[in-house]
Amino acid sequence: MIRRASLVIVGALLGATAMSVVYSAGVPAQAAGSSTYRELSIFGDVFERVRAQYVTPPDEDKLVENAINGMLTSLDPHSSYMNAKDAQDMRTQTKGEFGGLGIEVTMENELVKVITPIDDTPAARAGVLSGDFISEIDGTPVRGLKLQDAVEKMRGAVNTPIKLTILRQGADKPIELTVVRDVIAVRAVKSRVEGDVGYLRVISFTEKTYTDLEAAIKKIKAEVPADKLKGYVLDLRLNPGGLLDQAINVSDAFLQRGEVVSTRGRNPEETRRFNAGPGDLTDGKPVIVLVNGGSASASEIVAGALQDLKRATVVGTRSFGKGSVQTIIPMGDAGALRLTTALYYTPSGKSIQGTGIQPDIKVEQPLPPELQGKVRAEGESSLPGHIQGQSETEEGSGSTAYVPPEAKDDVQLNYALDLLRGNKTDPSFPPTPEKAEAAVKP
Q: Is 308 among the residues known to form the active site? A: yes
Contacts of 376 (CB under 8 A, 6+ apart): 400
Q: Is 297 among the residues known to form the active site? A: yes
Q: How many CB atoms lie within 10 A of CB 107?
A: 18
Q: What type of residue sits at position 370? A: E
Q: Are 367 and 402 in contact (CB under 8 A)?
A: yes
Active-site residue (options: 79, 262, 297, 319): 297
Active-site residue (options: 132, 308, 360, 410): 308
φ, ψ dihedrals at 127, nearest 5°: 100, 15
* H-helix segments, 96-175: 122-126, 147-154
3-state helix, strand, coil in the chain (%, to 5): 30, 25, 45
Q: Which of 407, 271, 439 is nearest to 345 (CA)?
A: 271
Q: Which of 322, 291, 243, 271 is nearest to 77 (CA)?
A: 322
**Angle, helix 298-308 to helix 244-252, in steps of 10 degrees:** 30
Active-site residue (options: 113, 310, 322, 350): 322
Q: Is 59 among the residues known to form the active site? A: no
Q: Are 184 and 99 in contact (CB under 8 A)?
A: yes
Distance CA 168, CA 127 (A): 11
Strand partners, 193: 198
Q: Are 404 and 365 in contact (CB under 8 A)?
A: yes
Q: Which of 4, 38, 203, 182 is nearest to 97 (CA)?
A: 182
Q: How many CB atoms lie within 10 A of CB 138?
A: 13
What positions carry a catalytic annotation? 297, 308, 322
